[in-house]
Structure 1
């Protein structure tokens, strides 16, 4: 039996619509969209709505469907992922056909690579990573779990990104730098030094605003 995909929407559901479209264009068989309680007010009305967590998930798991969690929030993606893992859920990676992913790159389950994104040679992405539209992850980068690379962001070669990092729109990170666990890189920032875990950096060059 062929596994079919369930898109699990968090937040307003807008990001879920983008993931749904990418999965559809990638030729995946999609069952529909499920949501968190009280969320996903912008789910496309033409997409099959399956119900809310937690009640709807057990029968879907029993049917051997696979899941992709569609939320821009790193914490929410991790929460939903861990819930589904506890129920025995399996996950699907979604790669838009207009993305460029090296055959030598390693992509963790449940990750989403959007249109125009580039994941280069020997890059490694963890679980539940988002590489948004026109973002670039260069050769030998290592990204942890539940990382969000915003549209237009650029990572030079050999950048190491910890779990749950958010990198803002059009940010640039010089080659070989390390971004610590849970850090936030602001939109348009240019990172020329390592970023400490749990901090927020902004500006050109990027500076720590937590100090």
Structure 2
């Protein structure tokens, strides 16, 4: 298994892997951060070149993206796929996930998350600690849900959107693509694509690129 990245989120994914004791060899890949040690925590090897990653994928093809920010996650996943990797879905311990929940490839679900039946989680979604997703929610691809975010029944979130820490989306609200919801915001109505919103209730404060 390869964790793409060797920074903060990658270290949190390492914690998940050590909790679930996967037993498989684990390495990191980071070709942009300078001054990295050869071993993370004196144990886990860090690959630093594309050719090293490609060679590793020849025998250990599974990977997970250990970097946040939706667009960056997409770029890194595309690189890994091009070099021969196959996306893994990672779900931590201590979660409460209904039996009738769909989770896409490449998704990462950290610990103490609640996801109710009828919800669909897209590809490469990142779900942080203590997120609550109630029934029949639809989460697009490359969405990031920060710690403590709450999505009530029937909410939909478009691709590449980022929901801030402790934000709340009220029932049946539709959040568009490439939307940023500020920390602690309460979203009471639909949000069009490419907007940043904040406040209680949430209001549009700027247009995203």
Q: Quick check: TM above 0.5? A: yes
Mapping of 1:72-91 within 5 angstroms? 72-91=68-87
Q: Label 1:145 to 1:40 Cα distance change in 2 as closer, same or farther (>3 A).
A: farther
Q: Label 1:186 to 1:9 Cα distance change in 2 as closer, same or farther (>3 A).
A: same
Distance 1:53 1:186 in 2: 36
Give the conservation status (yes or no) of the 8 Å contact 1:50–1:56: no
Instruction: Name which of 72, 94, 98 aligns with 2:94.
Output: 98
**Alignment partner, residue 28 of structure 2:** 33
RMSD over aligned Cα atoms: 1.8
Matched, 1:152 2:148: yes
Q: Label 1:16 to 1:177 Cα distance change in 2 as closer, same or farther (>3 A).
A: same
Which piece of structure 1 moves more, 56-65 or 115-124?
A: 56-65
Give the deviation of 1:46 after TM superposition: 3.1
Instruction: Name which of 172, 183, 186 aligns with 1:187.
Output: 183
Distance 1:40 1:151 in 2: 30
Matched, 1:163 2:163: no
Give the conservation status (yes or no) of the 8 Å contact 2:61–2:84: no
Give the conservation status (yes or no) of the 8 Å contact 2:27–2:47: no
Distance 1:160 1:71 in 2: 23
Give the deviation of 1:176 after TM superposition: 0.6
Q: Label 1:185 to 1:41 Cα distance change in 2 as closer, same or farther (>3 A).
A: farther
**Alignment partner, residue 52 of structure 1:** 48
Instruction: Name which of 4, 17, 25 aligns with 1:23.
Output: 17
CA offset digits 1:50-78 (Å, max 9, x no partner):
31242221112110430000111111110
Aligned residue-pair number: 205
Give the conservation status (yes or no) of the 8 Å contact 1:168–1:187: yes
Q: Which runs of 4+ in 1 moved over 3 A?
A: 39-44
Structure 1 gaps of 5+ residues are none
Distance 1:120 1:39 in 2: 42
Matched, 1:129 2:125: yes
Structure 2 gaps of 5+ residues are none
**Alignment partner, residue 111 of structure 1:** 107
Q: Label 1:101 to 1:167 Cα distance change in 2 as closer, same or farther (>3 A).
A: same
